[in-house]
Amino acid sequence: MKFIVEHLSKNSGRLGQLVQQETGKQFKTPLLVQTTKGGSIPYLSREVFDSVTPECQVLQMSLATMDHMKEALGQYKGSGGGLSEYVGYKDYPTILTIRDPCELMPSGSNDKDMVPLFTRRGKETLTPQKYIELVETFKPDIYQGLSDADTNFDSAKKRIQKSVDRTESFMYFCYEQHKQSQMLSKSCLFTPIVGGYNTYNRSQSIKHAKEYGSGKYGGFIFEGFHNYGLTATEVTSEQLVPIMSHCLKELSEEKQQPLMLPGAFTPLVMLELIQLGVDIFDTSYAYCAAVNFKALSFSFKMNGDSVGDCEGGNVPETPFIDVTDECLKEDFRPLLKDCSCVACENHTRAYIHHLYKTSELLGPILLMIHNLHHLMEFFKSIHECISSDTLDNLIKLLRHQGGDKVVEYRIVANTKVISRAGLGKGFADSKS
């Protein structure tokens, strides 16, 4: 993969292209990569996902949901399409990460010689050698280096320092193996930058990458800000922006490299990171909203004073529609009146509320369709604002949505009770 910076704006970040060199396919940055579970878009078949977007997408694979496929993939021949062909998305570029951004990563279980990997079968251990062997089997277009990312805003200094030291130790091995491996000659290495919310430790991690990874990596992935899952939605701009500003200043010489932040960051936080120059995010926010019965409804249309789906000039208190709300049972409007997704064009709020009440599998399917479509349209609006250097206006719109109060984008786990009879189906499955 090759990264090209095409446009730098004064106050709105940058536009670029991530190019798959073998096929010449180009993907605009800021880029929203599609989070998968076991190689599949959550809840959606390939045919349904094609109805969300017919355009080729970059797929984010995680070892936490795919490590059990190693043997089958090692024996798979196919027609040369590799990992993406194996999961049914032939010729889609792939990014291989370690952790599933949709699920909470338990803290602890760290050791100087290995990284814990939490899979559906329980905890596995990843040594640097085992990790590289897995990457060589998967042969992704992009993969991240092995890291100890078990830190968050509340982590102690000792834990943060250990995460930096262990990541450096892992990366000594990864850099050498990446350089020597013929099987990874076409794969791009994203070197991890860790260090929690401590600028000194982040500088340590960046210094090591520059000294020992120079000429070996093709981008950076920033970890250690949260424990994934809903914890990423709790990260605020006030916490994150100062640390990322510091990191990006120290990486100014590497400005031609793409920068990625995995996790379900809120749309407002993503915007402020994009303004700093971050290039790649994932769709785990759409998934986290869907499994907690929420349809994304925040406005991003720069139409004067418009606030999206607000009727009678009312300003929304939240950027979601909670489909568990009883007031929807006789609401025969689409989720969003101007949305062109399959869910909004063919179904009503009342029907999706009914699907929740009856624990039908179609419920989360329709929410994922809508949420993915909404986020992808949001990123199109971001590209337009960067081109016109008006990202500040979009940030203001998202922050207040036309009102005086700051809108809360954090996703809170929905704890409403579903009958035991419905467990194992649709919505209920995410709470079982």
The alpha carbon of 109 is separated from its chain's Cα centroid by a whole number of angstroms, namely 24
DSSP for 232-275, please give it.
GGG--HHHHHHHHHHHHHHTGGGTTS-EE--S---HHHHHHHHH
For residue 120, give every residue at least 6 positions away whose Cβ sits within 8 Å of its Cβ, in sequence order, or none.
65, 68
| pLDDT (0 to 100) of residue 121 | 84
Mean pLDDT of residues grouped by 10 in the chain (432 residues)?
A: 88 91 90 96 95 95 92 79 87 95 89 88 91 94 96 95 96 94 92 97 96 92 96 96 96 90 97 96 97 94 50 56 93 93 95 93 95 97 94 94 89 73 49 44
Q: Count CB-CB contacts under 10 A for residue 204.
A: 20
Q: Which residues are annotated as a binding site for Zn(2+)?
A: 339, 341, 344, 370
| pLDDT (0 to 100) of residue 112 | 79
| pLDDT (0 to 100) of residue 423 | 42
Q: Which residues are annotated as a binding site?
A: 339, 341, 344, 370
Sequence-ordered alpha helix ranges (H) in 106-230: 128-138, 157-180, 199-213
In order of their start, the domains of the chain are 2-289 (3.20.20.105), 294-400 (no CATH)
Between CA 56 and CA 52 the distance in angstroms is 11
Q: Count CB-CB contacts under 10 A for residue 345.
A: 9
| pLDDT (0 to 100) of residue 416 | 76
| pLDDT (0 to 100) of residue 417 | 59
| pLDDT (0 to 100) of residue 80 | 66
Between CA 261 and CA 285 the distance in angstroms is 13
**pTM of the model as a whole:** 0.92
Q: Which residues of 171-203 are buried (b: 16+ CB within 10 A; e: fewer)?
A: bebbbebbeeeeebeebbbbbbbbbbbbeebbb
